[in-house]
Amino acid sequence: MSTTYTIDTATSRANPTPAPLKRLTVPALRARKADGVTAEPLVMLTAYTVRTAQLLDAHCDLLLVGDSLGQVVYGLPSTVPVTLEMMAAHGAAVVRGSWHAVVVVDMPFGSYETSPEKAFESAAWLLKQTGAAAVKLEGGEAMAPTVRFLSERGIPVMGHVGLTPQAVNVLGGYGARGRSAAEADKIVGDARALAEAGAFAIVVEGVVEPIAVAITEAVACPIIGIGASARCDGQVLVAEDMLGLFDRVPRFVKKYDDLGTRIGEAAARYAAEVRERAFPGAAQTYAPRD
């Protein structure tokens, strides 16, 4: 899908790139890891809207339209209620707002687990609706046949192991995974299975650090950490967490700004000026023509 389009700038706040450049590709990102080494780590953030995509795109190799939008955008208690339609709407917006990064769309809970054929139907529909380059799905060795099925049919797949939020009801919460030797071995095995099945990259979330390091060293494709290790081949965070829009964030989040406080302060100044009838002023109103 082309990112070149025309917008009436007199009525739209969107600002498309004046001269769209060539977008990164899945093979190019996969090739960043050669002989087990990624010289330039992959940068990945979530995006759910056109404007967020525009602001983040130039700085990221990948933009993830995560099913975390269920909590971040819709205020849902988990990612489980998220639908394909929700993912398609936000995925299309992020593709429209970006020109550089590879856009990956999460496959929501219930859209791929039944069978590889069901997964292909859901993934193909998502890519057609959004113009994204790839999909991401959660699960380890059990999902390897599905990853292989999709990859062999032209759909790039990013895997996701460790703490898998869609399985929160089975896991019993969002605590770090891999504290026992048995669970650690399983997570490493899950990553190996997905890579061997054709995943072009794998997100490793919420695991004790030695597991993340072991996976990064053992698996040929890039490993993208979140609550994992700086030694992974790349990193991803929820943009709203990183920007400080929420007071409560997971332990593994570093806040690079405090936009929540700044937005609240701006809203307070606006409210005060409205109540004082200081806004709008002469610069924001229209005078009669002579």
* Residues making up the binding site for 3-methyl-2-oxobutanoate: 67-68, 106, 136
The tokens describing 266, both together, are: 């701006």
Q: Which of 113, 141, 183, 205 is catalytic?
A: 205
The torsion angles phi and psi of 173, rounded to 5 degrees, stand at 145, -170
Amino acid identity at 171:
L
Report the 10 Å Cβ neighbour count for 198.
18
User: Binding site for Mg(2+): what residues are annotated?
Assistant: 67, 106, 138
Annotation says 205 is catalytic: yes
The residue written with tokens 């405090």 in the block is 258
Residues 6+ apart with CB under 8 A from 165: 67, 68, 78, 79, 138, 174, 205
Give the Cα separation of 109 and 105 in Å (integer). Answer: 13
Give the Cα separation of 249 and 77 in Å (integer). Answer: 14
Beta 223-226 vs 102-106: how paired, if at all?
unpaired
Catalytic residues: 205
